[in-house]
Amino acid sequence: MNRVPDILLEWYQQQARTLPWRETKDPYAIWISEIILQQTRVNQGLDYYRRFMEAFPTVQELAAAPVEAVLKQWQGLGYYSRARNLHQAAQQVVSLYGGVLPGSSEELLKLKGVGPYTAAAVASIAFSERVVTVDGNVNRFISRLFSMAEDPLSARGRQEIVTLASAMAGQFSPGLFNQALMEFGALQCIPHPDCEICPLKNYCEAFRLDLVSELPVRKKKMKVRDRYFYYAVVRFQDQYWLRQRGAGDIWQGLYEFPLLETGSEIADFSELASALETLFSSRGSISLSSCSEVYVHVLTHQKIHAVFCVIQTSETPQFIDNNATPYSFSEISELPVSRLTDRYLHSGWINP
Closest residue by Cα to residue 198 from 157, 161, 144: 144
> What pairs with residue 229 in β-bridges?
261, 306
Maximum Cα interatomic distance, the chain, rounded to a whole number of Å: 78
Give residue-wise pLDDT tens across range 266-279: 999 999 999 999 99
Separation between Cα atoms, residue 348 and residue 346, nearest integer Å: 6
pLDDT higher than threshold 60 for residue 42: yes
Separation between Cα atoms, residue 348 and residue 352, nearest integer Å: 9
- Domains in the chain and their CATH numbers? 4-214 (1.10.340.30), 225-345 (3.90.79.10)
pLDDT of residue 210: 95
Separation between Cα atoms, residue 218 and residue 33, nearest integer Å: 27
| Region 3-10 average pLDDT | 94
Global pTM value: 0.83
Type of residue numbered 47: D
Give residue-wise pLDDT tens across range 48-80: 999 999 999 999 999 999 999 999 999 998 889
DSSP symbols for 105-144: HHHHTTSTT--HHHHHHHHHHHH--S-----HHHHHHHHH
Positions annotated as catalytic residues are 34
pLDDT of residue 51: 96
pLDDT of residue 351: 61
pLDDT of residue 137: 94
Structural contact between residues 259 and 244, judged by C-beta atoms closer than 8 angstroms: no
DSSP symbols for 214-265: G-S--PPPPPPEEEEEEEEEEEETTEEEEEE--SSSTTTT-EES-EEEESS-
Sign of CA pseudo-dihedral 48, 53, 56, 59: positive
pLDDT higher than threshold 80 for residue 219: no
pLDDT of residue 348: 75
pLDDT of residue 2: 76
Q: Which helix (H) or strand (E) holds 90?
A: helix 81-97
pLDDT of residue 349: 66
Give residue-wise pLDDT tens across range 139-179: 999 999 999 999 998 889 999 999 999 999 888 999 999 99
More reliable by pLDDT, 347 or 180: 180
Give residue-wise pLDDT tens across range 229-257: 999 999 888 899 999 998 889 999 999 99
